[in-house]
């Protein structure tokens, strides 16, 4: 029986896939995105998070059987809310055998994989083929910029995107909008060119920058040093996608968010 390491289980999530969902956040990620707002997902090891309210351990080991049992207890509620279960992180494909076993134990549950796409192709396909929908992050197309801001090349990501397009599984491409980094017209247009002719794409989601991204770093003993202007309104230019016939939406704008070219 597989044992996995998670850092959160979030119930009644509404932005992690269709309907009302329970999202499982797994520890461990091969990327170090400079804007990541879940730094407790970087490593699989347990961590101590210190806040003004005190300190707590971040991390929990759980068996695939126990996690599936917990999720199955919620299945009727999730189905009633036209939702399901989402596996996120961190990067869930860092724990591929565990995630696959949990999914195999779920009872009539809609499953979303929320992934950076950075994984061995066999691992990617093993989990993706068990899912009803994939949320696939695309951050930067220029390989130099991708390595600079995430610590890794984007070749494996683009390879897995092509593989996903051949599998017949619907997917949503999600682009985090980091001001002056990922939200440039040049990068958004490059993403549109990559995905425009791929089969299976449901839509493109543009995700506004999370200005609270750096809040957890100090409490984990980490440093958050953005090289971009966090106060600048992001460029949510959906026309880079709609002009080539793609459906694109900006997810989760609030009245406080700035917007350009929306």
Three-state DSSP state, 249: strand
How crowded is residue 210: how many other Cβ atoms within 10 Å of its Cβ?
17
pLDDT one-digit tens code per residue, 138-190: 999 999 999 999 999 999 999 999 999 999 999 999 999 999 999 999 999 99
Q: Tell me: domain 3-250, CATH 3.20.20.70, correct?
A: yes
The pLDDT assigned to 53 comes to: 87
Residue 259: cis peptide before it, omega within 30 degrees of 0:
no
Domain limits of the chain? Answer: 3-250
For tokens 């806040």, the residue is 51
pTM across the whole model: 0.94
The pLDDT assigned to 51 comes to: 86
Q: Write out the two tokens for 154.
A: 């984007």
Q: Write out the two tokens for 167.
A: 């599998």
Of the candidates 205, 210, 131, 211, which has an alpha carbon nearest to the alpha carbon of residue 164?
A: 131
Average pLDDT, 10 consecutive residues per value, the chain (262 residues): 95 94 98 96 96 92 98 95 96 98 97 98 98 98 98 98 97 98 98 97 96 88 94 95 97 49 34
Is residue 27 within 8 Å of 89, Cβ to Cβ? Answer: yes
Q: Is the dihedral of CA 149, 13, 133, 184 positive or negative?
A: negative
Of the candidates 159, 186, 78, 169, which has an alpha carbon nearest to the alpha carbon of residue 131?
A: 169
């Amino acid at each position: 029986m597989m044992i996995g390491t998670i850092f959160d289980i979030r119930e009644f999530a509404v932005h992690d896939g269709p309907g009302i969902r329970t999202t499982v956040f797994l520890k461990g990620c091969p990327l170090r995105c400079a804007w990541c707002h879940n730094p407790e997902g970087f490593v699989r090891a347990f961590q101590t998070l210190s806040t003004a309210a005190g300190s707590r351990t971040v991390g929990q080991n759980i068996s695939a059987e126990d996690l599936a049992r917990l999720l199955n207890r919620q299945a009727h509620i999730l189905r009633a809310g036209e939702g399901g279960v989402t596996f996120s992180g961190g990067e869930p494909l860092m724990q591929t055998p565990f995630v696959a076993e949990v999914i195999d134990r779920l009872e009539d549950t809609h499953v979303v994989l929320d992934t950076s796409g950075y994984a061995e192709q066999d691992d990617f396909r093993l989990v993706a083929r068990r899912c009803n929908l994939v949320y696939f992050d695309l951050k930067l197309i220029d390989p130099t910029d991708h390595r600079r801001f995430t610590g890794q090349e984007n070749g494996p990501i683009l390879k897995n995107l092509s593989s996903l397009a051949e599998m017949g599984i619907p997917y949503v491409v999600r682009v985090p909008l980091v001001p002056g980094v990922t939200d440039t017209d040049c990068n958004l247009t490059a993403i549109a060119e990559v995905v425009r002719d791929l089969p299976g794409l449901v839509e493109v989601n543009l995700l506004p920058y999370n200005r609270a991204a750096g809040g957890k770093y100090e409490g984990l003993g980490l440093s958050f040093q953005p090289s971009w202007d966090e106060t600048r309104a992001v460029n949510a230019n959906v026309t880079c996608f709609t002009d080539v016939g793609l459906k694109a939406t900006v997810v989760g704008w609030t009245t406080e968010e700035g917007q350009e070219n929306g």
